Amino acid sequence: MDFTRTPNIAIFADYENIAIGVRNGRYGDFDIDLVLERLLDKGKIVVKKAYADWTRYKTARRPLHEAAFELIEIPHVSYSGKNSADIRLVVDALDLCYTKDHIDVFVVISGDSDFSPLVSKLRENAKKVIAMGVKNSTSDLLVENCDEFIYY
């Protein structure tokens, strides 16, 4: 990473995971502006993607749209039993890692341990990885694998 310039940041949000964690933690509604404020001192945010079945989170769409997030629609129906949002997020993050050299920092908004292999692969490719999740619903494995972890 070139430290002579401001790092470029890509954010990948597993919206369902963070929204459920915030709700179960009794923090009210998830506030994307709080997240963005915490990340502004880390660099310049150049990519923002949020993954969910947006038919289940209609009220969340507007604030995310206003914050310039690309909303990736992932229908909740899954024949494999796997979380399609997680898989799509991983594929998109790795695609960006391998095709866009100007991204220095990857932010994963989730507390899900399933993202630990992604974190490892990004770090293997000399990318800094920051994750953000809710304290009581975040995997210790994810926290340990990241360069930095921010609790919501």
How many other CB atoms sit within 10 Å of the CB of residue 84? 16
Is the pLDDT at 25 greater than 70, yes or no?
yes
Q: Give pLDDT, residue 137.
A: 85
8-state DSSP, 46: E
Read off the pLDDT of residues 59-70 as tens digits, 9 standing for 90 and up.
Answer: 999 999 999 999
Quick one: CA dihedral 24, 27, 30, 34, positive or negative? negative
Q: What is the pTM of this model?
A: 0.92
CB 101 within 8 A of CB 119: no
Domain boundaries, the chain: 8-151
pLDDT band at 136 (very low <50, low <70, confident <90, very high): confident
If one compares 3 and 91, the residue with the highest pLDDT of the two is: 91
Arithmetic mean of pLDDT, 47-75: 96
Superfamily of domain covering 8-151: 5'-nuclease (3.40.50.1010)
Read off the pLDDT of residues 78-104 as tens digits, 9 standing for 90 and up.
Answer: 555 557 889 999 999 999 999 999 999
